[in-house]
Amino acid sequence: MQAQISVLNSMVVDDFDGDGNLDVLISGNDFGTEVSVGRNDAFNGLILKGDGKGGFVSKTILESGIFIPGNNKALIKLRGRNDKYLVVASQYRGPLSIFELKRNFKTIEWQPDDLYAEIRYGNGVIQKHENYTGSSYLSQSSGFLAAGDDVVEVSITNNKNQTRVVKF
């Protein structure tokens, strides 16, 4: 319900809480609508926590620490100093908001010909991530995978069907 109260403009999908399930960070709103309709401005950003079975539970602002009001247009993930995981939210004619994930990560850089990666967690969960780096002319996230402390191994396959394995 909380993801349907305004326009959604951008999403970043990743395992933000380290449970091995993909979560979704969303920003939105649109202030450029017709005068007779009014602004779509009821959205302040949202984290949807994935359950690993296709279901999601929305987190409150207090639970997630995400508060992105305004006319938001894009979200990107970046690798900050000391491999910190950052998410940057842009606004039309407004300031950038930068959020730092408060978990430790090891980062693995995508190579230009990498297609996908399988991330294996210590609890047996396997996630598959596709590489979209360079696939859009719009704002894009940095080309890296984030592996939390609970990741055991990452297998990355390229467009020649060659696989490289990173073990932790």
Integer Cα distance of 73 and 23 in angstroms: 20
- Position 108 scores a pLDDT of 92
What span, in angstroms and rounded, lies between the C-alpha atoms of 29 and 23? 20
Q: Which range of residues forms the domain containing residue 53?
A: 2-167
CB-count burial class (<10 Å; 0-12, 13-18, 19+) for 147:
buried
Residue 167 confidence (pLDDT)? 94
Residue 139's pLDDT is 66
How many beta carbons lie within 10 A of that of residue 16, not counting itself? 26
Give me the amino acid identity at 74. A
Tokens of 106: 């090891």
Report pLDDT for 155.
98
Euclidean distance between the first and final Cα of the chain, in Å?
39
Q: What are the tens digits of pLDDT across the range 119-137?
A: 999 888 898 999 887 776 6
Please choose, from the candidates 122, 90, 64, the residue with its C-alpha nearest in 3D space to the C-alpha of residue 10. Answer: 90
Rg (C-alpha) for the chain, rounded Å, is: 17
Q: Which residues of the chain have pLDDT under 70?
A: 136-139
Structurally, how many domains does the chain consist of?
1
The H or E element containing residue 164 is: strand 163-167
The pLDDT value recorded for residue 118 is 96
